[in-house]
């Protein structure tokens, strides 16, 4: 009996010890996550507090301004709250002055006649053969460009153009996987492409991703090429990739830090930072690591 009691006591103490270890681990993980959040938030604030005019194109037109090196002078601390929106504060004042100068240059220019155009026809649906095919017959190159942020039907338009027998090459010429287009194959299978041209599903077409594009090769293989492999699409004779600029892990981390308190400002694919590397000629490109 005493032996059974000792065993029961030992089991109870073991269970209690295990419960304490699990609780301590959970608290340690929670504390670690809290410290990570604090660290990333501090890094985000530090990055945003040093925003200058030269960085505006990369980060967007934010109402931010630089920290003064002299702690005792006015403006030594970045304004916060509603004061950040005041016209005469920090970077806002510089931005307003620059825009007034630009407006002064444009103020007396004559009005563009195209702005007074009044449509005379109504939108009507028409067969592809009547509308699209004559355009293809008249042109040697057709550019499908977006006029807004997306969801315009560019992918479907490119797919329709690529199906014409006279079209030989379909190319993606700029940007990266922040874009996206959905194309349905002949069997009805849905493909979610980001960098791959929509003509990739049409046999007999050459599809190119040009050297001005940016690419995360790992993400490209996992998100896009894997779809083609799973469904048996013969892409190796159709898809050709140029000397693209590489999206590296630090680009996505910088994108995350810069968008920490404004998550809807970015797709978090590293687009802003990688295009900054591209413009400053400091980034990696595909050919050197691929050909080693």
Catalytic residues: 151, 181
HEC string of the chain equals: CHHHHHHHHHHHHHHHHHHHHHHHHHHHHHHHHHHHHHHHHHHHHHHHHCCCHHHHHHHCCCCCCCCCCCCCCCCCCCCCHHHHHCCCCHHHHHHHHHHHHHHHHHCCCCCCHHHHCCCCCCCCCCCHHHHHHHHHHHCCCCCCCCCCCCCCCHHHHHHHHHCCCCCCEEEECCECCCCCEEEECCCCCEEEECCCCHHHHCCCCEEEECCCEEECHHHHHHHHHHHHHHCCCCCCCCEEECCCEECCHHHHHHHHHHCCCCHHHCCCCCHHHHHHHHHCCCCCECHHHHCC
Closest listed residue to residue 273, CA positions, set 257, 262, 285, 261: 257
Rounded Cα gap, residues 169 and 158, in angstroms:
11
């Amino acid at each position: 009996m005493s032996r059974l009691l000792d065993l029961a006591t030992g089991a109870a103490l073991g269970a209690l010890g295990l419960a304490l270890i699990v609780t301590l681990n959970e608290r340690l993980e929670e504390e670690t996550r809290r410290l990570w959040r604090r660290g990333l938030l501090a890094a985000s604030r530090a990055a945003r507090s040093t925003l200058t005019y030269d960085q505006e194109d990369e980060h967007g037109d934010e109402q931010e301004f630089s920290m003064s090196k002299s702690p005792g002078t006015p403006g030594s601390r970045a304004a916060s709250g509603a004061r950040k929106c005041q016209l005469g504060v920090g970077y806002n004042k510089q931005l307003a002055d620059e825009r007034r100068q630009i407006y002064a240059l444009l103020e007396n220019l004559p009005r563009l006649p195209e702005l007074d155009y009044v449509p005379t026809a109504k939108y009507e649906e028409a067969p592809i053969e009547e509308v699209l095919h004559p355009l293809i017959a008249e042109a040697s190159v057709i550019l499908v460009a977006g006029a807004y942020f997306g969801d315009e039907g560019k992918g479907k338009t490119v797919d329709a153009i690529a199906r014409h027998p006279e079209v030989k090459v379909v190319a993606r010429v700029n940007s990266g996987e922040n874009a996206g287009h959905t194309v349905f194959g002949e069997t009805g299978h849905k493909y979610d492409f980001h960098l791959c041209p929509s003509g990739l599903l049409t046999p007999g077409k050459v599809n190119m991703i040009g050297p001005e594009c940016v690419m995360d090769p790992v993400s490209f293989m996992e998100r896009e090429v894997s779809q083609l492999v799973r469904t048996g699409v013969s892409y190796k004779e159709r898809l050709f990739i140029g000397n693209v600029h590489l999206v590296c892990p630090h680009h996505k981390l910088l994108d995350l830090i810069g968008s920490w308190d404004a998550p809807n400002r970015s797709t978090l694919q590293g687009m802003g930072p990688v295009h900054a590397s591209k413009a400053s000629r400091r980034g990696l490109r595909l050919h050197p690591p691929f050909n080693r």
